[in-house]
Protein backbone atom coordinates (compact mmCIF):
# COMPACT_ATOMS: atom_id res chain seq x y z
CA UNK A 1 0.00 0.00 0.00
CA UNK A 2 1.06 3.61 -0.52
CA UNK A 3 2.95 5.54 2.14
CA UNK A 4 2.19 9.12 1.06
CA UNK A 5 -0.31 10.55 -1.44
CA UNK A 6 -0.37 13.97 -3.08
CA UNK A 7 -3.89 15.34 -3.50
CA UNK A 8 -3.76 17.43 -6.68
CA UNK A 9 -6.85 19.46 -5.86
CA UNK A 10 -8.43 21.86 -3.39
CA UNK A 11 -11.67 22.51 -1.49
CA UNK A 12 -14.15 19.93 -0.31
CA UNK A 13 -12.91 17.09 -2.52
CA UNK A 14 -9.35 17.48 -1.20
CA UNK A 15 -10.73 17.33 2.36
CA UNK A 16 -12.85 14.31 1.44
CA UNK A 17 -9.89 12.41 0.00
CA UNK A 18 -7.67 13.33 2.95
CA UNK A 19 -10.15 11.79 5.38
CA UNK A 20 -10.02 8.39 3.71
CA UNK A 21 -6.24 8.48 3.35
CA UNK A 22 -5.92 9.20 7.06
CA UNK A 23 -8.21 6.27 7.89
CA UNK A 24 -5.95 4.07 5.77
CA UNK A 25 -2.83 5.27 7.57
CA UNK A 26 -1.49 7.00 4.45
CA UNK A 27 0.32 10.34 4.65
CA UNK A 28 -1.54 13.33 3.15
CA UNK A 29 0.22 15.97 1.07
CA UNK A 30 -1.70 19.06 -0.10
CA UNK A 31 -0.95 21.77 -2.63
CA UNK A 32 -2.35 25.26 -2.58
CA UNK A 33 -2.34 28.51 -4.51
CA UNK A 34 -1.41 31.80 -2.83
CA UNK A 35 -4.99 32.75 -1.84
CA UNK A 36 -5.63 29.20 -0.56
CA UNK A 37 -2.87 29.23 2.05
CA UNK A 38 -5.42 29.17 4.88
CA UNK A 39 -7.89 26.85 3.12
CA UNK A 40 -9.41 23.93 4.99
CA UNK A 41 -7.78 21.31 2.79
CA UNK A 42 -4.37 22.72 3.76
CA UNK A 43 -5.23 22.33 7.44
CA UNK A 44 -6.24 18.70 6.87
CA UNK A 45 -2.88 17.74 5.36
CA UNK A 46 0.27 16.41 7.00
CA UNK A 47 2.32 18.53 4.60
CA UNK A 48 1.32 21.37 2.27
CA UNK A 49 3.18 23.14 -0.53
CA UNK A 50 2.42 26.39 -2.33
CA UNK A 51 2.38 25.99 -6.12
CA UNK A 52 1.62 29.43 -7.53
CA UNK A 53 -0.74 32.40 -7.80
CA UNK A 54 -4.53 32.39 -7.82
CA UNK A 55 -5.01 31.60 -11.49
CA UNK A 56 -5.50 27.84 -11.85
CA UNK A 57 -3.43 27.93 -15.02
CA UNK A 58 -0.45 28.97 -12.88
CA UNK A 59 -1.10 26.65 -9.96
CA UNK A 60 -3.55 23.72 -9.88
CA UNK A 61 -3.25 23.10 -13.62
CA UNK A 62 0.55 23.04 -13.65
CA UNK A 63 1.61 19.40 -14.01
CA UNK A 64 5.29 20.32 -13.68
CA UNK A 65 4.69 21.93 -10.29
CA UNK A 66 2.65 18.96 -9.08
CA UNK A 67 5.41 16.56 -10.08
CA UNK A 68 8.00 18.72 -8.35
CA UNK A 69 6.00 18.68 -5.09
CA UNK A 70 5.34 14.95 -5.33
CA UNK A 71 9.06 14.23 -5.67
CA UNK A 72 10.14 16.70 -2.98
CA UNK A 73 7.57 15.31 -0.53
CA UNK A 74 8.44 11.70 -1.31
CA UNK A 75 4.94 10.78 -2.53
CA UNK A 76 4.44 7.39 -4.12
CA UNK A 77 0.93 8.15 -5.45
CA UNK A 78 -1.29 11.04 -6.56
CA UNK A 79 -5.08 11.46 -6.40
CA UNK A 80 -6.54 14.07 -8.80
CA UNK A 81 -10.01 14.50 -7.24
CA UNK A 82 -12.46 15.95 -9.77
CA UNK A 83 -12.15 18.98 -12.03
CA UNK A 84 -8.80 20.61 -12.81
CA UNK A 85 -6.52 17.88 -14.26
CA UNK A 86 -8.59 14.87 -13.21
CA UNK A 87 -9.50 13.90 -16.79
CA UNK A 88 -6.33 15.11 -18.51
CA UNK A 89 -4.33 12.06 -19.68
CA UNK A 90 -1.12 14.08 -19.49
CA UNK A 91 -1.29 13.85 -15.69
CA UNK A 92 -1.18 10.03 -15.46
CA UNK A 93 1.47 10.11 -18.20
CA UNK A 94 3.59 12.46 -16.06
CA UNK A 95 3.02 10.32 -12.98
CA UNK A 96 4.20 7.21 -14.80
CA UNK A 97 7.27 9.03 -16.08
CA UNK A 98 8.16 10.11 -12.54
CA UNK A 99 7.51 6.77 -10.86
CA UNK A 100 4.33 7.94 -9.10
CA UNK A 101 1.14 5.86 -9.12
CA UNK A 102 -1.89 7.67 -10.47
CA UNK A 103 -5.02 6.90 -8.43
CA UNK A 104 -7.39 6.78 -11.35
CA UNK A 105 -7.77 5.21 -14.79
CA UNK A 106 -4.93 4.70 -17.26
CA UNK A 107 -4.16 7.52 -19.70
CA UNK A 108 -5.22 5.30 -22.60
CA UNK A 109 -8.75 4.91 -21.20
CA UNK A 110 -8.95 8.66 -20.54
CA UNK A 111 -8.02 9.35 -24.14
CA UNK A 112 -10.50 6.79 -25.42
CA UNK A 113 -13.37 8.39 -23.50
CA UNK A 114 -12.19 12.01 -23.34
CA UNK A 115 -13.42 13.21 -26.73
CA UNK A 116 -17.17 12.76 -26.86
CA UNK A 117 -17.37 11.95 -30.56
CA UNK A 118 -14.70 9.24 -30.26
CA UNK A 119 -16.32 7.92 -27.07
CA UNK A 120 -19.70 7.66 -28.83
CA UNK A 121 -18.12 5.58 -31.59
CA UNK A 122 -16.37 3.26 -29.14
CA UNK A 123 -19.50 2.77 -27.06
CA UNK A 124 -21.64 2.11 -30.14
CA UNK A 125 -19.11 -0.51 -31.20
CA UNK A 126 -19.35 -2.05 -27.70
CA UNK A 127 -23.15 -2.28 -28.02
CA UNK A 128 -24.00 0.70 -25.81
CA UNK A 129 -26.94 2.71 -27.27
CA UNK A 130 -25.99 6.27 -28.25
CA UNK A 131 -28.10 9.32 -29.07
CA UNK A 132 -28.39 9.78 -32.85
CA UNK A 133 -26.02 12.51 -33.99
CA UNK A 134 -23.10 13.47 -36.16
CA UNK A 135 -20.51 16.02 -37.17
CA UNK A 136 -20.90 19.79 -37.37
CA UNK A 137 -17.51 20.92 -38.67
CA UNK A 138 -19.17 23.40 -41.01
CA UNK A 139 -22.59 25.01 -41.22
CA UNK A 140 -23.37 22.88 -44.27
CA UNK A 141 -22.43 19.71 -42.42
CA UNK A 142 -24.38 20.84 -39.37
CA UNK A 143 -27.49 21.43 -41.48
CA UNK A 144 -27.14 18.03 -43.11
CA UNK A 145 -26.72 16.25 -39.77
CA UNK A 146 -29.66 18.09 -38.20
CA UNK A 147 -31.89 17.38 -41.19
CA UNK A 148 -31.01 13.68 -41.03
CA UNK A 149 -31.76 13.20 -37.31
CA UNK A 150 -34.54 15.81 -37.04
CA UNK A 151 -35.06 18.87 -34.86
CA UNK A 152 -34.76 19.76 -32.04
CA UNK A 153 -31.02 19.13 -31.82
CA UNK A 154 -28.30 19.89 -29.31
CA UNK A 155 -24.91 21.35 -30.20
CA UNK A 156 -22.18 20.07 -27.86
CA UNK A 157 -18.48 20.75 -27.38
CA UNK A 158 -16.40 17.76 -28.44
CA UNK A 159 -13.69 18.30 -25.84
CA UNK A 160 -15.60 19.34 -22.73
CA UNK A 161 -18.65 19.30 -20.53
CA UNK A 162 -20.30 21.16 -17.67
CA UNK A 163 -22.69 22.90 -20.05
CA UNK A 164 -19.96 24.81 -21.88
CA UNK A 165 -20.43 24.97 -25.65
CA UNK A 166 -23.97 23.58 -25.51
CA UNK A 167 -26.89 25.07 -27.45
CA UNK A 168 -30.42 23.76 -28.00
CA UNK A 169 -31.63 24.40 -31.56
CA UNK A 170 -35.30 24.07 -32.48
CA UNK A 171 -35.17 24.96 -36.17
CA UNK A 172 -32.70 25.41 -39.05
CA UNK A 173 -33.14 29.18 -38.87
CA UNK A 174 -31.46 29.13 -35.43
CA UNK A 175 -28.59 26.83 -36.37
CA UNK A 176 -25.96 29.21 -37.79
CA UNK A 177 -26.04 31.64 -34.85
CA UNK A 178 -26.12 28.81 -32.30
CA UNK A 179 -23.18 27.06 -33.98
CA UNK A 180 -21.10 30.22 -33.86
CA UNK A 181 -21.86 30.77 -30.17
CA UNK A 182 -21.22 27.14 -29.26
CA UNK A 183 -17.86 27.14 -31.07
CA UNK A 184 -16.79 30.37 -29.42
CA UNK A 185 -17.67 29.15 -25.94
CA UNK A 186 -16.07 25.74 -26.50
CA UNK A 187 -12.85 27.33 -27.74
CA UNK A 188 -12.60 29.60 -24.72
CA UNK A 189 -13.44 26.88 -22.21
CA UNK A 190 -11.47 23.93 -23.59
CA UNK A 191 -9.04 25.31 -26.17
CA UNK A 192 -10.91 23.29 -28.82
CA UNK A 193 -13.77 24.89 -30.74
CA UNK A 194 -15.00 21.63 -32.31
CA UNK A 195 -18.67 20.83 -31.71
CA UNK A 196 -20.99 18.04 -32.81
CA UNK A 197 -24.76 17.53 -32.98
CA UNK A 198 -27.02 15.16 -31.09
CA UNK A 199 -30.74 14.61 -31.29
CA UNK A 200 -32.36 16.49 -28.40
CA UNK A 201 -34.31 14.03 -26.27
CA UNK A 202 -37.52 15.77 -25.17
CA UNK A 203 -37.89 16.10 -21.39
CA UNK A 204 -35.17 13.57 -20.55
CA UNK A 205 -33.82 12.47 -17.23
CA UNK A 206 -30.07 12.55 -16.69
CA UNK A 207 -29.29 9.17 -15.16
CA UNK A 208 -25.78 7.95 -14.46
CA UNK A 209 -24.24 4.63 -13.47
CA UNK A 210 -21.33 4.39 -11.04
CA UNK A 211 -18.83 1.66 -11.92
CA UNK A 212 -15.72 0.19 -10.32
CA UNK A 213 -13.20 -1.88 -12.27
CA UNK A 214 -9.87 -3.34 -11.15
CA UNK A 215 -6.64 -4.04 -13.02
CA UNK A 216 -7.48 -7.74 -13.32
CA UNK A 217 -10.47 -7.41 -15.68
CA UNK A 218 -13.25 -7.42 -13.08
CA UNK A 219 -15.92 -4.74 -12.92
CA UNK A 220 -19.20 -3.98 -11.15
CA UNK A 221 -21.78 -1.22 -11.19
CA UNK A 222 -23.03 0.47 -8.05
CA UNK A 223 -26.51 1.34 -9.31
CA UNK A 224 -27.79 4.65 -10.63
CA UNK A 225 -28.04 8.31 -9.66
CA UNK A 226 -30.62 10.73 -11.02
CA UNK A 227 -28.93 14.05 -11.79
CA UNK A 228 -31.74 15.78 -13.67
CA UNK A 229 -32.10 18.87 -11.46
CA UNK A 230 -29.68 21.16 -13.29
CA UNK A 231 -29.02 24.82 -13.92
CA UNK A 232 -27.07 25.83 -17.03
CA UNK A 233 -26.63 22.10 -17.77
CA UNK A 234 -24.84 21.67 -14.43
CA UNK A 235 -26.16 19.47 -11.63
CA UNK A 236 -27.36 20.94 -8.33
CA UNK A 237 -29.31 18.00 -6.84
CA UNK A 238 -28.73 14.27 -7.22
CA UNK A 239 -30.56 11.30 -5.77
CA UNK A 240 -30.53 7.53 -5.73
CA UNK A 241 -32.58 5.54 -6.55
CA UNK A 242 -33.97 7.42 -9.55
CA UNK A 243 -37.72 7.90 -8.89
CA UNK A 244 -38.68 7.00 -12.48
CA UNK A 245 -36.71 3.83 -13.09
CA UNK A 246 -37.19 0.11 -12.44
CA UNK A 247 -34.68 -2.53 -11.40
CA UNK A 248 -34.64 -4.13 -14.86
CA UNK A 249 -33.61 -0.87 -16.55
CA UNK A 250 -30.93 -0.23 -13.92
CA UNK A 251 -29.54 -3.71 -14.48
CA UNK A 252 -29.41 -3.14 -18.25
CA UNK A 253 -27.74 0.25 -17.86
CA UNK A 254 -25.28 -1.11 -15.33
CA UNK A 255 -24.29 -4.12 -17.42
CA UNK A 256 -23.70 -1.90 -20.47
CA UNK A 257 -21.66 0.58 -18.42
CA UNK A 258 -19.38 -2.16 -17.10
CA UNK A 259 -19.06 -3.64 -20.59
CA UNK A 260 -18.19 -0.22 -22.02
CA UNK A 261 -15.57 0.45 -19.35
CA UNK A 262 -13.84 -2.89 -19.78
CA UNK A 263 -13.88 -2.43 -23.57
CA UNK A 264 -11.44 0.50 -23.23
CA UNK A 265 -9.27 -1.10 -20.55
CA UNK A 266 -10.68 1.07 -17.78
CA UNK A 267 -9.86 0.56 -14.13
CA UNK A 268 -10.73 2.70 -11.06
CA UNK A 269 -14.01 4.47 -10.31
CA UNK A 270 -15.89 5.96 -13.26
CA UNK A 271 -19.34 7.08 -14.27
CA UNK A 272 -21.42 6.46 -17.39
CA UNK A 273 -23.97 9.18 -18.04
CA UNK A 274 -27.19 8.44 -19.93
CA UNK A 275 -30.21 10.39 -21.13
CA UNK A 276 -33.41 8.49 -20.35
CA UNK A 277 -36.72 9.17 -22.08
CA UNK A 278 -40.17 8.95 -20.54
CA UNK A 279 -40.49 5.41 -21.96
CA UNK A 280 -37.26 4.42 -20.15
CA UNK A 281 -35.31 4.19 -23.38
CA UNK A 282 -31.77 5.37 -22.65
CA UNK A 283 -28.77 6.60 -24.58
CA UNK A 284 -25.07 6.97 -23.74
CA UNK A 285 -24.12 10.60 -23.15
CA UNK A 286 -20.51 10.50 -21.94
CA UNK A 287 -18.18 8.86 -19.46
CA UNK A 288 -16.59 10.76 -16.59
CA UNK A 289 -13.21 9.14 -16.08
CA UNK A 290 -12.86 10.28 -12.48
CA UNK A 291 -14.59 10.47 -9.13
CA UNK A 292 -17.92 12.28 -9.41
CA UNK A 293 -18.99 15.21 -7.23
CA UNK A 294 -22.08 13.25 -6.24
CA UNK A 295 -20.30 10.04 -5.22
CA UNK A 296 -21.33 10.36 -1.51
CA UNK A 297 -24.93 9.29 -2.18
CA UNK A 298 -23.71 6.06 -3.75
CA UNK A 299 -21.54 5.52 -0.68
CA UNK A 300 -24.56 6.07 1.56
CA UNK A 301 -26.72 3.41 -0.12
CA UNK A 302 -23.96 0.80 -0.67
CA UNK A 303 -21.72 1.27 2.38
CA UNK A 304 -18.63 1.43 0.16
CA UNK A 305 -15.96 4.14 0.40
CA UNK A 306 -15.25 4.95 -3.26
CA UNK A 307 -12.02 6.79 -2.50
CA UNK A 308 -10.74 3.78 -0.57
CA UNK A 309 -11.69 1.52 -3.49
CA UNK A 310 -9.82 3.82 -5.91
CA UNK A 311 -6.72 3.63 -3.73
CA UNK A 312 -6.96 -0.17 -3.47
CA UNK A 313 -7.41 -0.56 -7.22
CA UNK A 314 -4.46 1.74 -7.95
CA UNK A 315 -2.33 -0.37 -5.62
CA UNK A 316 -3.16 -3.41 -7.76
CA UNK A 317 -5.59 -5.09 -5.38
CA UNK A 318 -8.57 -6.99 -6.84
CA UNK A 319 -12.09 -5.72 -6.19
CA UNK A 320 -12.83 -8.62 -3.89
CA UNK A 321 -16.55 -8.61 -4.68
CA UNK A 322 -18.85 -9.38 -7.61
CA UNK A 323 -22.04 -7.87 -8.97
CA UNK A 324 -24.16 -10.36 -7.02
CA UNK A 325 -22.60 -8.99 -3.82
CA UNK A 326 -23.78 -5.45 -4.55
CA UNK A 327 -26.77 -4.48 -2.45
CA UNK A 328 -28.30 -1.08 -1.89
CA UNK A 329 -30.25 0.10 1.08
CA UNK A 330 -32.60 3.06 1.38
CA UNK A 331 -32.50 6.36 -0.49
CA UNK A 332 -29.97 9.18 -0.53
CA UNK A 333 -30.04 12.75 -1.85
CA UNK A 334 -27.34 15.37 -2.34
CA UNK A 335 -27.75 19.16 -2.54
CA UNK A 336 -24.81 21.18 -3.80
CA UNK A 337 -24.59 24.24 -1.58
CA UNK A 338 -23.08 27.03 -3.66
CA UNK A 339 -22.07 30.62 -3.05
CA UNK A 340 -24.30 31.89 -5.81
CA UNK A 341 -27.45 33.93 -6.31
CA UNK A 342 -30.31 31.97 -7.94
CA UNK A 343 -32.28 35.21 -8.46
CA UNK A 344 -29.59 36.46 -10.87
CA UNK A 345 -29.27 33.28 -12.90
CA UNK A 346 -27.10 31.50 -10.32
CA UNK A 347 -24.23 33.94 -10.70
CA UNK A 348 -21.36 33.25 -8.28
CA UNK A 349 -21.34 35.20 -5.04
CA UNK A 350 -17.77 35.11 -3.74
CA UNK A 351 -16.77 36.73 -0.46
CA UNK A 352 -15.97 36.10 3.17
CA UNK A 353 -18.13 33.72 5.19
CA UNK A 354 -18.91 35.48 8.46
CA UNK A 355 -21.15 32.78 9.93
CA UNK A 356 -21.35 29.08 9.15
CA UNK A 357 -23.46 26.48 10.88
CA UNK A 358 -23.81 23.13 9.10
CA UNK A 359 -26.52 20.53 9.74
CA UNK A 360 -25.99 17.27 11.57
CA UNK A 361 -28.09 14.59 13.20
CA UNK A 362 -29.42 11.22 12.02
CA UNK A 363 -28.72 10.41 8.38
CA UNK A 364 -27.00 13.72 7.54
CA UNK A 365 -23.58 14.07 5.90
CA UNK A 366 -22.04 17.40 4.96
CA UNK A 367 -18.87 17.24 2.86
CA UNK A 368 -17.52 20.77 3.23
CA UNK A 369 -14.37 22.57 2.23
CA UNK A 370 -14.58 25.84 4.13
CA UNK A 371 -15.22 27.39 7.55
CA UNK A 372 -16.45 30.59 9.21
CA UNK A 373 -13.94 33.32 8.46
CA UNK A 374 -12.79 31.76 5.19
CA UNK A 375 -13.25 33.41 1.80
CA UNK A 376 -15.00 31.86 -1.18
CA UNK A 377 -12.67 32.87 -3.99
CA UNK A 378 -13.81 34.25 -7.32
CA UNK A 379 -11.03 32.22 -8.93
CA UNK A 380 -12.55 28.78 -8.37
CA UNK A 381 -15.80 26.87 -8.26
CA UNK A 382 -18.03 28.48 -5.58
CA UNK A 383 -19.03 25.17 -3.96
CA UNK A 384 -19.38 25.49 -0.18
CA UNK A 385 -20.33 21.90 0.56
CA UNK A 386 -22.30 18.86 -0.52
CA UNK A 387 -25.20 18.28 1.85
CA UNK A 388 -26.32 14.66 1.75
CA UNK A 389 -29.01 12.72 3.57
CA UNK A 390 -29.89 9.04 3.84
CA UNK A 391 -33.22 7.53 4.89
CA UNK A 392 -35.02 4.20 4.50
CA UNK A 393 -37.10 5.55 1.60
CA UNK A 394 -37.39 8.59 -0.67
CA UNK A 395 -40.23 10.27 1.21
CA UNK A 396 -38.27 10.25 4.44
CA UNK A 397 -35.11 11.35 2.63
CA UNK A 398 -36.96 14.39 1.25
CA UNK A 399 -38.29 15.18 4.72
CA UNK A 400 -34.82 14.77 6.21
CA UNK A 401 -33.31 17.09 3.61
CA UNK A 402 -35.89 19.76 4.44
CA UNK A 403 -34.90 19.50 8.08
CA UNK A 404 -31.19 19.62 7.26
CA UNK A 405 -31.63 22.66 5.03
CA UNK A 406 -33.52 24.43 7.80
CA UNK A 407 -30.47 24.03 10.05
CA UNK A 408 -27.96 25.30 7.49
CA UNK A 409 -26.84 28.88 8.20
CA UNK A 410 -24.40 30.89 6.08
CA UNK A 411 -23.78 34.59 6.69
CA UNK A 412 -21.78 37.10 4.67
CA UNK A 413 -22.45 35.79 1.16
CA UNK A 414 -25.42 34.78 -0.97
CA UNK A 415 -26.15 31.07 -1.31
CA UNK A 416 -28.65 28.78 -3.00
CA UNK A 417 -30.10 27.53 0.30
CA UNK A 418 -33.44 29.24 -0.27
CA UNK A 419 -33.64 27.71 -3.75
CA UNK A 420 -33.08 24.24 -2.31
CA UNK A 421 -35.72 24.80 0.37
CA UNK A 422 -38.28 25.74 -2.29
CA UNK A 423 -37.32 22.81 -4.48
CA UNK A 424 -37.82 20.29 -1.68
CA UNK A 425 -41.29 21.71 -1.00
CA UNK A 426 -42.40 21.78 -4.64
CA UNK A 427 -45.17 19.17 -5.07
CA UNK A 428 -43.88 17.95 -8.45
CA UNK A 429 -40.37 17.37 -7.12
CA UNK A 430 -41.72 15.74 -3.96
CA UNK A 431 -43.70 13.39 -6.21
CA UNK A 432 -40.56 12.59 -8.21
CA UNK A 433 -41.97 14.09 -11.40
CA UNK A 434 -39.13 16.08 -12.95
CA UNK A 435 -36.69 16.18 -15.86
CA UNK A 436 -33.65 18.22 -16.89
CA UNK A 437 -35.83 21.24 -17.67
CA UNK A 438 -37.47 21.36 -14.24
CA UNK A 439 -35.78 24.53 -12.96
CA UNK A 440 -36.56 26.52 -16.11
CA UNK A 441 -40.14 25.24 -16.12
CA UNK A 442 -40.71 26.36 -12.51
CA UNK A 443 -38.34 29.31 -12.24
CA UNK A 444 -41.05 31.75 -11.14
CA UNK A 445 -41.52 29.71 -7.98
CA UNK A 446 -37.94 28.53 -7.47
CA UNK A 447 -35.93 31.60 -8.44
CA UNK A 448 -37.90 34.66 -7.38
CA UNK A 449 -35.71 37.19 -5.58
CA UNK A 450 -35.10 36.76 -1.89
CA UNK A 451 -32.95 38.79 0.47
CA UNK A 452 -30.26 36.78 2.19
CA UNK A 453 -30.11 37.20 5.98
CA UNK A 454 -27.89 39.96 7.30
CA UNK A 455 -24.84 39.01 9.32
CA UNK A 456 -26.77 39.79 12.50
CA UNK A 457 -29.68 37.60 11.38
CA UNK A 458 -27.34 34.77 10.40
CA UNK A 459 -25.59 34.94 13.76
CA UNK A 460 -28.93 34.95 15.56
CA UNK A 461 -30.09 31.92 13.58
CA UNK A 462 -26.84 30.07 14.31
CA UNK A 463 -27.25 30.78 18.02
CA UNK A 464 -30.84 29.58 17.81
CA UNK A 465 -29.66 26.31 16.28
CA UNK A 466 -27.12 25.84 19.08
CA UNK A 467 -29.68 26.73 21.73
CA UNK A 468 -32.27 24.38 20.28
CA UNK A 469 -29.91 21.42 20.03
CA UNK A 470 -28.73 22.04 23.57
CA UNK A 471 -32.22 22.40 25.03
CA UNK A 472 -33.74 19.59 27.07
CA UNK A 473 -37.33 20.80 26.75
CA UNK A 474 -39.54 19.70 23.85
CA UNK A 475 -40.13 21.92 20.84
CA UNK A 476 -42.62 24.64 21.86
CA UNK A 477 -46.09 24.57 20.38
CA UNK A 478 -46.64 28.29 20.93
CA UNK A 479 -44.35 31.26 20.98
CA UNK A 480 -43.58 34.66 19.56
CA UNK A 481 -43.48 33.32 16.02
CA UNK A 482 -46.73 31.45 16.52
CA UNK A 483 -45.52 28.66 14.25
CA UNK A 484 -44.74 25.84 16.60
CA UNK A 485 -41.41 25.58 14.77
CA UNK A 486 -37.87 26.14 15.92
CA UNK A 487 -37.01 29.85 15.60
CA UNK A 488 -34.51 29.54 12.76
CA UNK A 489 -37.01 27.49 10.71
CA UNK A 490 -39.72 30.06 11.25
CA UNK A 491 -37.35 32.88 10.30
CA UNK A 492 -36.22 30.95 7.24
CA UNK A 493 -39.78 30.38 6.07
CA UNK A 494 -40.68 33.98 6.73
CA UNK A 495 -37.95 34.95 4.29
CA UNK A 496 -39.50 32.54 1.82
CA UNK A 497 -42.78 34.39 1.95
CA UNK A 498 -44.59 31.65 3.86
Task: Encode 324-348: b = buried (16+ Cβ within 10 Å), e = exposed.
Answer: eeeebebbbbbbbbbbbbbbeebeb
Question: CA 88: distance to chain centroid?
Answer: 17
- At how many degrees (to 10) do helices 487-495 and 394-407 cross? 90
In 3D space, the residue among 490, 486, 404, 418 whose CA is nearest the CA of residue 452 turns out to be 418
| CA proximity to 352, closest of 371, 336, 380 | 371
Q: At what angle do helices 139-149 and 172-190 cross, to 10 degrees?
A: 120
Is residue 290 among the annotated active site residues?
Answer: yes
**DSSP classification of residue 495:** H
Which DSSP letter does residue 53 get?
Answer: -
CA distance 389 to 408: 13
| H or E segment and range at residue 121 | helix 116-125
Residue 428 CA to residue 431 CA, distance in Å, equals 5
Among 62, 120, 290, 400, which one carries the catalytic annotation?
Answer: 290
Strand spans (E) along 200-257: 205-213, 219-231, 234-240
Instruction: Determine phi and psi for 234, rounding to 5 degrees.
Output: -120, 140
Determine the Cα–Cα distance for residues 95 and 98; give it in Å rounded to an integer: 5
Which sequence positions are flagged as catalytic? Answer: 290
Amino acid sequence: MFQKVLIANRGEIAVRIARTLREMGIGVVAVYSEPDKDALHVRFADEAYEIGPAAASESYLRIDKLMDVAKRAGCDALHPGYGFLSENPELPDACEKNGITFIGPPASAMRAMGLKTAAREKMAAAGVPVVPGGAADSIEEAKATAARIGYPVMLKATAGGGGKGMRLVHAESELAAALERARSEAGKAFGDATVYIEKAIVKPRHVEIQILADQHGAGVHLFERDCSIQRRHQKVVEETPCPAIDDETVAKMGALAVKGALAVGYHSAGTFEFLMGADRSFYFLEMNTRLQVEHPITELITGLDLVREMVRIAAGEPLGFEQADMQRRGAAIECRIYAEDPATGFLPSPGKIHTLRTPSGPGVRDDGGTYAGATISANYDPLISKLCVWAPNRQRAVERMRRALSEYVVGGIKTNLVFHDRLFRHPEFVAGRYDTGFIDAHKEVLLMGEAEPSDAEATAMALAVVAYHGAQSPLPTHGDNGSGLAPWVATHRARLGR
